[in-house]
Amino acid sequence: MQSNIAIRGGKALNIRTQMDYIIPKVIRDKVTLNAKINRAQTKTTTTIKGNTNVGFKLRPEYNFQIASSMSHNKKHSEGSMEITYGANKKDRTKRLFISTSVTPKLAWKSSNLKFDSQIQHPASIRIAG
């Protein structure tokens, strides 16, 4: 197993890990994990974005990629995550997208919390049970 972690200026984190595994008389494979996280901050807003890729050399159907982002200030917060899986990264049917946003309005006389969420998955889903 080889791993490399780099922190750049306290605002960016890069991770690269390669792992070889062997199950005797069954399988031998190489797994690669790449991740990158960026943080940006102003006086009022904090934004974090991240990307993660996991790749299997002999089993590309297990590959997946996660792209996520989050933004927060005192009046509004939102986040999203997109998960793409399978051998072909451009296949739009193997994609899961989740997003949510929260807008709190707090006051002594009346309070309101607005919570919106969205989930998209175009591939056919079969639930057993």
Q: Residue 111: pLDDT above 70?
A: yes
Q: How many residues does the chain have?
A: 129
User: 93 phi and psi, to 5 degrees?
Assistant: -85, -15
Question: 56: buried, middle or exposed (CB in 10 Å: 19+, 13-18, 0-12)?
Answer: middle
Q: Residue 5: pLDDT above 60?
A: yes
What does the pLDDT average to over 62-81?
Answer: 92
Q: Residue 127: pLDDT above 70?
A: no
- Nearest alpha-carbon partner for 68 in 90, 89, 53, 87: 53
Identify the band that residue 123 occupies on the pLDDT scale cut at 50, 70 and 90: low
Identify the band that residue 129 occupies on the pLDDT scale cut at 50, 70 and 90: very low
Residue range 86-109, pLDDT digits in tens: 888 888 788 888 888 888 887 777
Distance CA 101, CA 96 (A): 17
Ordered by start, the domain boundaries in the chain are 2-120
86 contacts 63 by C-beta, under 8 angstroms:
yes
How much is the pTM?
0.78
Identify the band that residue 126 occupies on the pLDDT scale cut at 50, 70 and 90: low
Which pLDDT does position 95 carry in this prediction? 86
Residue range 22-70, pLDDT digits in tens: 888 888 889 999 999 999 999 999 999 999 999 999 989 999 999 999 9
55 contacts 87 by C-beta, under 8 angstroms:
no
